[in-house]
């Protein structure tokens, strides 16, 4: 696997000084937790894509952007936490994040061929997954109307990160990729089933329904590609299509949420 370079945390450390707690007006929502989880899987995805694509600078930039988005989502959780359980969750997530950042495992801007990073850069693989597991285990989050879509986005990004990680490990001759492959191959049809359930739940939701239909078409196009790991592997194609699906679904949820939040204007008096 391509070694990432020293100094990367000039970017990440500047965004991991988590903001001081603010007066919270609401408890943690499942949507907020899923948003952070999605960005964590994106960090893991971009870390492996940087290696699979031979240190292409596009993925170095994407990796730093994903890290920034994850740090911002973590700040939002810290501001929203109210109960002891919520604060404990956020404190644990923040501690894991700082350990990942302190490892200096991200590539430095403009220094892709620079000195090897200190510590173990595999923390960009391991810690996002550990943080996501902690989020999944938390049961006290407030529910929302579009939690199923937020969860779908997180699962899609998890699938993408797993796919790229398996390819990266295979390229290294690592047995871990083969070990993970069986579980991944079962997760692909499970995602198809979940996508169908989310579609059924939002049949009457206008733009969101149309966006889910478009996502289903894209998923149908790349589903078989998700099961190619050898010379016929297509990580770039999977990465591009899942990024498009994620972006369109996020925009549709934001629009649907803003429409729900609009005040009802009554008849003139």
Tens of pLDDT, residues 74-133: 999 998 888 999 999 999 999 999 888 765 555 444 444 444 444 566 788 999 999 999
Q: Mean pLDDT, consecutive 10-residue segments, the chain of 269 residues? A: 47 44 62 96 94 89 91 91 91 90 53 46 87 93 95 97 91 61 92 97 94 97 93 94 97 86 47
Radius of gyration of the chain (CA): 19
For residue 142, give the 3-state DSSP assignment.
Answer: strand
* pTM reported for the whole predicted model: 0.83
Q: Which residues pair with 5 in a beta bridge?
A: 116
What's the CA gap between 66 and 46, in Å, rounded? 8
Interatomic CA distance for residues 6 and 21, integer angstroms? 31
Identify the sign of the CA torsion 233, 234, 236, 238. Answer: negative
Cα 37 from Cα 256, distance rounded (Å): 21
């Amino acid at each position: 696997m391509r070694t990432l370079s020293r100094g990367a945390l000039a970017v990440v450390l500047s965004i991991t000084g988590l903001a001081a707690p603010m007066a919270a007006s609401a408890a943690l929502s499942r949507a907020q937790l899923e948003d952070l989880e999605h960005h964590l899987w994106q960090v893991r995805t971009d870390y492996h894509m940087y290696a699979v694509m031979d240190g292409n600078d596009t993925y170095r930039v994407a990796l730093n952007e994903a890290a920034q988005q994850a740090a911002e989502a973590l700040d939002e959780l810290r501001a929203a936490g109210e109960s002891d359980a919520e604060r404990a969750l956020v404190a644990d997530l923040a501690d894991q994040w700082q350990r990942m950042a302190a490892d200096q495992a991200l590539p430095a801007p403009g220094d892709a061929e620079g000195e090897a990073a200190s510590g173990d850069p595999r923390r960009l693989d391991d810690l996002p997954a550990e943080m996501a597991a902690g989020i999944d285990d938390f049961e006290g989050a407030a529910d929302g109307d579009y939690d199923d879509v937020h969860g779908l986005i997180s699962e899609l990004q998890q699938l993408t990160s797993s796919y790229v990680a398996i390819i990266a490990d295979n390229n290294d001759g690592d047995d871990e990729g083969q070990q993970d492959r069986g579980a991944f191959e079962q997760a692909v049809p499970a995602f198809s089933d979940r996508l169908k359930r989310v579609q059924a739940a939002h049949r009457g939701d206008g733009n969101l329904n149309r966006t889910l239909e478009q996502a289903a078409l894209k998923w149908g196009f790349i589903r078989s590609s998700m099961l190619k790991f050898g010379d016929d592997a297509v990580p770039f194609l999977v990465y591009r299509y899942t990024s498009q699906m994620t972006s369109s679904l996020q925009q549709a949820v934001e629009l649907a949420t803003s429409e729900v939040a609009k005040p009802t204007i009554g008849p003139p008096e």
